Homo-oligomer: A and B are copies of this chain.
Amino acid sequence: MTARLATAALDTLRANALRFLAIDAVEAARSGHPGMPMGMAEIAVALWTRHLKHDPADPAWADRDRFVLSNGHGSMLLYALLHLTGYDLPLDELKRFRQLDSRCPGHPEVGHTPGVETTTGPLGQGLANAVGMALAEKRLAAEFNRPGHAIVDHRTWVFLGDGCLMEGISHEAASFAGVQRLSKLICLWDDNHISIDGDVTGWFADDTPARFRAYGWNVVERIDGHDVEAVDRAIREALANADNDIGPTLICCRTTIGHGSPARAGTAGVHGAPLGADEIAATRAALGWPHAPFVIPDEIRESFDARAHGARRQAEWQTGFDAYRTAHPALAAEFQRRQRGELPVSWRVLSTALLRRAHNDAAAIASRKASQNAIERIARALPELLGGSADLTHSNLTDWPGCGALHANPEATRPGRHIHWGVREFGMAAALNGIALHGGHLPFGATFLVFSDYARNAIRMSALMRLRVVYVMTHDAIHLGEDGPTHQPVEHLPSLRLIPGLDVWRPCDAVETQAAWNAAVARADGPSLLALSRQALPHQNRSDAQLDAIARGGYVLADADAPQLAILATGAEVALAMAARERLAATGIAARVVSMPSTSVFDRQDTAWRNAVLPPELPRLAVEAAQPDLWWKTLAGAPRSAVLGIDRFGESAPAEALAERFGVTVEAVVAAATDLVT
């Protein structure tokens, strides 16, 4: 009984240590969110001191548990945990919470702080990231584990709040996790009944346990979130269920936001603002915490230290992995390559060969079909390629022969490689981020380009986190025709190009499509988005030098001895530009055609390349079936320039009728070019 009491007393001290690191760091920063760390401190103690499998000395250990703080505004709780358990996060960094270049930014940022697994803050996305991580774990286990060798066997833990649960993406993520039976995903809900506007009664009255049961989740209810033992018992129950493969678990922890603050606990006032000196003093008194700001007594600090235990666990795993390597050397080497995110050594040769092959094939096919061909060929060489579509598989053309659908029960050694995400664009994109963050796969996902809107903030997060995620976005312009303006992208191409770090590709034929895929696969430090046509595109002939030049993002596809203007185009409009060039030549106007499948890649080229492609003295005409205004950046500096685009919403009609109506025709290009040079 004494030992039990001692544990209880220590747990209280540990929880308060987390609480006051958060309180004091927020106070020092004069900004931040103390309420959540104060409310979830005991839950954190239960998970982080009793269950989480991690090695603070090696945040990259492949088989560590993944921890996701979906309610990312409570970042100080995570920083406190990382600091106290022994990650390379000195106290000085906590003291510089939210200051320039601190390793403790306002919201957790992956790559910025050791132990942070994903960047969170935009609510609900952390949960969806975690679903991707749990899916990656389950699939890798099915692919790589062998009898007696469970080298992939870890859990994904999520802290989340009411805000995450109100967001629509929580529905997509939880529903998908249920149908995929991601039993090693365990979420702890901070049920504090408060969101920023106050008590949630007036705007959030879901029976959340019933809702999650409806998704096929295992729900552990009515846990006192301030009782470490109770949370511990709930976690043990969840772990038992995980082993029984009955679905993901939601542990519902009743908590008080800002627990410990005499005046503000249980109110929205403690959510997102410092407590202030007086209330901090009162909280210290109420919780019996006599220590000065940022002072953690040694015995508490030591009780958190997870380094020795973590090193032991990793060593045990390493022993197991060594045995696995002995038994399955090729698999082990492949696992390690995949974990490192390295492409196969054959990739460089292969990608060049695929590009040459596409050129030799000279196929006049839709770029979505060309993408499917590229996928099939790449997938053969890259087992890490993991595809999928948000319920548009046969429109996006993302599957390939033999890929197999990834279902809840993958066969032991050949789990499927194509995911039916359902009609869940945002959840898919955020889960792709989680898959990429987890490691071991190169994920891509697909929908119609116009519905990139639904996923937009997750695409932004791919870019912010510099993840190798590939977005396959088909039906890239009004030419999709009859489905009408709700389905026709107009502003989407330029608006996606504005996202920093996202490479948008709009290939003009099957060759550029293969080049775009090659670039997307090779790009280790950021996402790529392929905008692909529904309709067939003619093949363009190229020299070897032109073939290589596609990777530059923009290049001269057809020239004249003394060109009078350059016509820039992307995608389907390249063929218009080529046809216009012929007609212009007949009227004595010499035009160069520049194909520019990726403006961001072109912008990264050196000045010499850019000036060679677009000589400053040459008038320029840009042609693209999209909102035209962003093209003026590429036109800047030319003596004369014009853009042919579409600055209003589309209409429902067959593609040819729309091309006429919206002036996306050879005649219009000829007329605009003629205007420009005469």
Contacts and interface: CB of A to CB of B under 8 A. Distances in A.
Contacts of A424: 166-168
Contacts of A483: 73, 106-107, 121
Contacts of A175: 166, 204-206
B451 A454 contact: no
A661 interface: yes
A210 interface: yes
Size class of the contact patch on chain A: 35 or more
A487 B107 contact: yes
A202 B179 contact: yes
A430 to B, nearest CB: 10
A48 interface: no
Contacts of A169: 168
Contact of A119 (B32, B123, B486): B486
A208 B211 CA distance: 9
A99 interface: yes
A248 to B, nearest CB: 13
Interface stretch (A259-267, A344-352, A494-502): A494-502
A155 B197 CA distance: 30
Contacts of A451: 122, 457
Given A99-B653, A205-B179, A391 B163 contact: yes
B121 A651 contact: no
Contacts of A457: 450-451, 453-454
Nearest to A123: B423
A329 interface: no
Interface stretch (A307-315, A319-327, A551-559, A624-632): A624-632
A365 interface: no
A420 B484 contact: no
A469 to B, nearest CB: 16
A149 interface: no
Contacts of A497: 629
Contact of A661 (B100, B422, B456): B100
A107 B486 CA distance: 8
A120 interface: yes
Nearest to A496: B495
A213 interface: yes
A195 B393 CA distance: 11
Contact of A29 (B207, B482, B635): B482
Nearest to A652: B105
Nearest to A122: B486
Contacts of A460: 453, 491
A405 interface: yes
A128 to B, nearest CB: 9
Contacts of A100: 651, 653-654, 657-658, 661
B203 A627 contact: no
Contact of A636 (B106, B124, B405, B632): B632
A486 B120 contact: yes
A604 to B, nearest CB: 12
Contacts of A208: 214
Contacts of A393: 196-197
Nearest to A407: B202
A196 B166 contact: no
B423 A166 contact: yes
A230 to B, nearest CB: 24
A427 interface: yes
A418 to B, nearest CB: 10
B163 A167 contact: no
A189 interface: no
Contacts of A98: 482, 484, 652-654
A672 interface: no
Contacts of A213: 207, 210
A31 B215 CA distance: 35
Interface stretch (A1-9, A283-291, A431-439, A641-649): A641-649
A497 B494 CA distance: 11
Contacts of A498: 491, 494-495, 627, 629-630
A641 B633 CA distance: 11
Max chain B C-beta neighbours (<10 A), residue from A100, A389, A647:
A100
A197 B391 contact: yes
Max chain B C-beta neighbours (<10 A), residue from A101, A166, A170, A464:
A166
A200 interface: yes
Nearest to A661: B100
A286 to B, nearest CB: 26
Interface string A385-419: 00001011111000000000101100000000000
Contact of A499 (B203, B405, B454, B491): B491
Nearest to A406: B202
A567 to B, nearest CB: 18
B391 A196 contact: yes
A386 to B, nearest CB: 15
21 contacts: A72-B486, A98-B653, A99-B654, A100-B653, A107-B483, A107-B484, A122-B451, A163-B391, A166-B422, A179-B204, A195-B391, A203-B420, A203-B422, A206-B216, A207-B214, A210-B210, A463-B649, A490-B500, A491-B500, A494-B495, A495-B495
The 6 A-B residue pairs with the shortest CB-CB distance in the complex, in nearest-first order: A168-B168, A171-B171, A105-B652, A121-B486, A100-B653, A453-B457
Interface of A: 29, 31-32, 72-73, 98-102, 105-107, 109, 119-124, 162-163, 166-172, 175-176, 178-179, 195-197, 200, 202-208, 210-211, 213-216, 389, 391-395, 405, 407-408, 420-424, 426-427, 450-451, 453-454, 456-457, 460-461, 463-464, 481-487, 490-491, 494-495, 497-501, 627, 629-630, 632-633, 635-636, 641, 647-649, 651-654, 657-658, 661
